[in-house]
Structure 1
Amino acid sequence: MTTTTATTTTRATAASAAPGFRTALAFEWTKFASLRSTRWTLLVTGVLTVVGAVFVGLSGSLQPDDTVLGGSLTLGVISLMVAGAVGALTVCGEYASGTITATLTAVPRRGRVLAAKAALLACLLYVTGLVCCTAAYLVGGAVLEDGKYARGEPLPALFGIAGLFALVGLVGLAVGTLLKHSAGAVVTVVGVLMLPSLFGPLLGDLQRWVAGATPTAALEKLTQTSDASPETVGSLGAWPSLALVAGYTLLLLGVAAWRLRRRDA
C-alpha cells in the first residue's frame, strides 16, 4: 500500500510540474527544425506542387473543360502524400532514435506532447500548402495559354486545400503514433489516399461513398478538376467533404492520444 501510494504521489507531482503547452510547443519546434528528414520533406511538399504546375502547363495535357486551378494542382495528390509522410516522420523519427523517451520524460502529460506536435505540424503544413498552391496557381496561369482555359475560383478554395494539407499531415502523425514505424505509417497514409480510388470501380454503387470520403476526393472537388464527377468522388460538396476528412482525422488523433497514454514509450 505504501509503495503504491508513493508511486501515485510521484506521478501526480510530475504531472503537476509538467511544462505548459507553450513550452511543449517550443520543444517540438526545436526537434522538428533539427531533423534534416522533416525539413527536406516539408520543402519537397512545396516545391513539388509548383514544379507540377510548370510541367502540366508546358505539356499541354489539360482537357478543354479543365480549369487553370485544377490543372496547376494536378500533382496535388502526390504533395498530399509527402505531407502525410512529414506527419509520420515527426513522431516515427523519435521512436527510431529513442528520443521519444526523453520527450515523454520532459513532458509527462502525453496528450500534451501529441497536441503540441499536432499544432506545430498543422501550422507548418497549412502555411506551406497555402504558399505553394497559390504559387502553383499563379505559375500555371502564366504558363498556360491565356484565355484557353477557365480560371476556376481560387478563393476560398486555396484556403481549403491548405487545410487539407494540414489534415493529411495530422493523419500521418496519428498513424505514426499508433504504428511507431516510418515505413508502415507512410504506406498506410498512401493507402488511405490512393486505394479507395483505385479499387472504387470494384465496389459498384458503393464507390461514390468509399472513394468520396477520402482526402483525394476532397482535393479534386476543391481544385475543381474535371475528374471530380459524382460517380467517382460522390455528390457531397467540396466543403462538406473537407469537414468529413477533418472529422475522422480528429477521431484518429483521439485514438492515437488514448493509445499513447496507455503504452510504454
Structure 2
Amino acid sequence: MNTITTRTPGFREAAAFEWTKFSSLRSTRWTTAAVGLLTVAGAVFVGLSGSLQPDDTVLGGSLTLAVVALMIAGVAGALAVCGEYSSGTIGSTLAAVPRRGRVLTAKAALLAGVLFPLALVSCTVAYVLGDAILEDGAYAQGEPFPALLGIAALFAVVAVLGLAIGTLLRHSAGAVTAVIAVMLLPSLFGPLFGNLQRWIAGATPTAALEKLTQTSDASAEAVGSLGAWPSLALVTGYTLLLLLLAARSLHRRDV
C-alpha cells in the first residue's frame, strides 16, 4: 500500500509564489515603479525650477517628492494583499501554503526586499542629480550617508506597514485610504492637540523621512523632538506590532 505525503511548502517556495504574483500584477508593478520615478523626477524639477528654499539642504531639496513616493510605497504594500482579496485568489494562496504566518512573512520579506534597493538607488540618483543641477555652493549639502540607508529602510518599513493595514482591512479602497491617513492626518490635526503636537506628528513615517532628509521643514514643533534614527525605530516598532496583529487576524479568519 502506497502512502502519499504532502509536504508543506517552505519559506523559499512561499517567497517564490509571492514574487510570481507580485511581478504579474499591473497594480503592484506600476505603483512600485512610481516610487523610483517620482523621487528622481522631484530632484530634476526642484533643480530646474529654482524652488528650493535658501535654508534647505541639497539632500532635502533633491528628495522633495520622496514624501509622495513614500505614500505610494505604502499603497503598494496594501495592494500586494488586497489585490488577492479582490480577485479571490487569496483562497488559492492559503491552500497552497497552509501556514498563514509564513504567507504573510513571505509577503513582508518580498516587499522589503524590493523597496529597500529600489529606494536606495532612486534616492541616491535623485541626490546626485540635484547636486549636479543646483547652483554649486548655494545650499548646504546635508549628510547623505548614512541617511540614504535610513531613507531606503523607511520605504521598506512603510511598504510592510501598508501590507499589515491591507491584511487587516482586506479592501483596496479602505486600505489605501488608511495608509494615506496614517501618513498625513497626524501632521494635519497635530495642532489641535496643543503641546502633544510634536509627539503625534513626530510618530509618522513622513516625520521620520523629513528628519532623515534633513529638510528645513523638519522643525521640532512640526515633526517632534526625536532624532531621525529614533523616529525610524519608532515607525519600525509599531509597524511590526501591526504586522503581528495582521497575522493573528489572518489566522482567526476563514480566509
> Do both share a fold (TM > 0.5)?
yes
| Structure 1 counterpart of 2:221 | 231
Bigger Cα displacement from structure 2, 43-52 vs 58-67: 58-67
Supply the distance in 2 between the matched residues of 1:201 and 1:58 (Cα, whole angstroms). 34
Is residue 248 of structure 2 the alignment partner of residue 248 of structure 1? no
Letter in 2 for 1:104: L
Is residue 145 of structure 2 the alignment partner of residue 131 of structure 1? no
Letter in 2 for 1:114: L
Q: Within 5 Å, give how 1:60-139 maps onto structure 2.
A: 60-139=50-129
Residue 217 of structure 1 and its aligned partner are, at CA, apart by: 0.6
Supply the distance in 2 between the matched residues of 1:209 and 1:177 (Cα, whole angstroms). 27
Residue 62 of structure 1 and its aligned partner are, at CA, apart by: 1.3
SS at match of 1:147: coil
| Structure 1 counterpart of 2:22 | 32
Q: Within 5 Å, give how 1:109-258 maps onto structure 2.
A: 109-258=99-248
Deviations 1:62-88 (Å, cap 9, x if unpaired)? Answer: 111110000001111100110011001
Deviations 1:214-246 (Å, cap 9, x if unpaired)? Answer: 101100100000111111111111000000000
Supply the distance in 1 between the matched residues of 2:189 and 2:63 (Cα, whole angstroms). 23
Bigger Cα displacement from structure 2, 196-205 vs 79-88: 196-205
Residue 143 of structure 1 and its aligned partner are, at CA, apart by: 1.1
| Structure 1 counterpart of 2:35 | 45
Deviations 1:66-122 (Å, cap 9, x if unpaired)? Answer: 100000011111001100110011000000111100000000000000000000001
Bigger Cα displacement from structure 2, 56-65 vs 170-179: 56-65
| Structure 2 counterpart of 1:18 | 8
Residue 191 of structure 1 and its aligned partner are, at CA, apart by: 0.5
Letter in 2 for 1:95: Y
Deviations 1:15-73 (Å, cap 9, x if unpaired)? Answer: xx310000100000111111111111100110001001111111211111110000001
Supply the distance in 2 between the matched residues of 1:59 and 1:30 (Cα, whole angstroms). 41
TM-score, structure 2 normalization: 0.97
Supply the distance in 2 between the matched residues of 1:75 and 1:150 (Cα, whole angstroms). 19
SS at match of 1:69: helix
Stretches of structure 2 that go unaligned for 5 or more consecutive residues are none
Decide which structure has the larger Cα Rg and report it.
1
Structure 1 moving runs of 4+ over 6 Å = none
Bigger Cα displacement from structure 2, 193-202 vs 252-261: 193-202
Supply the distance in 2 between the matched residues of 1:77 and 1:153 (Cα, whole angstroms). 18
Letter in 2 for 1:115: T
Letter in 2 for 1:58: L
SS at match of 1:185: helix
Supply the distance in 1 between the matched residues of 2:237 and 2:168 (Cα, whole angstroms). 18
Residue 264 of structure 1 and its aligned partner are, at CA, apart by: 1.1
Supply the distance in 1 between the matched residues of 2:49 and 2:179 (Cα, whole angstroms). 29
Q: Percent identity?
A: 74
